[in-house]
Homo-oligomer: A and B are copies of this chain.
Amino acid sequence: MAGGRGERFWPQSRLAMPKHLLPIVGDRALLVQTIERLLPMIPAERVLIITNRQQAPAIRALCPALPAANIVAEPVGRDTAAAVGLALVLVRRRDPQATFAMLPADHVIHDTVAFRDDLERAFAAAEREPLLVTLGIRPTEPATGFGYIHRGPARAGQDGVFDVSRFVEKPTLPVAQGYLATGEYLWNAGMFFWRVPVVAEAFAKHVPDLWADLGQFDAALAAGQPLDAVLDAVYPTLKKISVDYALIEKATNVAVIPARFDWDDVGAWPAVMRHFPADAAGNVRRGATVVEQAADNLVVSSADHLVAVLGVKDLIVVHTPDATLVCPKDKAQEIKVLLKRCEAAAELQRFL
């Protein structure tokens, strides 16, 4: 899944150039890093990308190894249940008994060996029993920005696989602290593994209206209509609901595997600092920068533009050719308010 607006990485991210198309961490786009993490296990012909029309050209350019037909562009966003349903229909047309994974395109994972090992275990679990399998991330802090998974008892005969007791929405800080203390809660990173018949049954049972519409979609493709035309006709009418609400939180056959790899969703600019070495004063600097009497700042520029920072602390300064952001680290979540101001001013909309 490679959609979304990536507002929190403005001004590097834009409507047509969101977070996963940028080398926010590392030297290639996060989407490219995600695909390369999979390639030794999953050949390029079997990697499908669900994106949107604005981003599709950039994705085609970034991923030349993928067949063009594997890059599927939603005409409009209809939340994640529709995207998963679209993937399900397309995979089922290739193999009605296939096992497949849904993975986000914009997470940072350094330990690719452990990642692929966990993926093997998740695929195996999904093939052994009719389960909706998810990988849960062991929390490293009482984050309030993620949903949590309360794991239940270990499943008999499946090593390291647990029943899910319940999914919980983003908690308050004290609640999150309580979750961490139990050792029984995992972060929901939106990584799912299932067989086509199992997830199809879940759709039919829990979101029958959406499932019926997806059947219509499947029929049109079977009748030979081109994909984009069918998407144009059907997609805008699909029920708009998240896959968590629609399926995962309702299903009783969800299992969770605690992940063994490192994981960071790099939710906003301050998170980037964890992935680069800092100077002696704690500044993380990329591109041409000069700092003086400045500590714990993130300063991002390019080779041909100098960003000079003097006497400031805990600031984010990001320069791009047509826009520059200056904000304290603890305000990074409010960039969207800034962008609303740009939306409201005709002369500033070109910077979105």
Contacts and interface: CB of A to CB of B under 8 A. Distances in A.
Interface of A: 10-11, 288, 290, 292-293, 301, 304-312, 315, 317, 319, 321-328, 330-331, 334-335, 337-338, 341-342, 345, 347-348, 351
A331 B309 CA distance: 11
Contact of A334 (B301, B311, B315, B321): B311
A334 to B, nearest CB: 6
A70 B42 CA distance: 76
Contacts of A10: 308
B292 A338 contact: yes
Contact of A311 (B319, B328, B341): B328
A319 B335 CA distance: 19
Interface of A is mostly: mixed
Contact of A305 (B288, B292, B324, B330): B324
Contact of A326 (B11, B307, B321, B323): B307
A255 to B, nearest CB: 42
Nearest to A304: B322
A215 to B, nearest CB: 46
A79 to B, nearest CB: 28
A338 B290 contact: yes
B351 A306 contact: yes
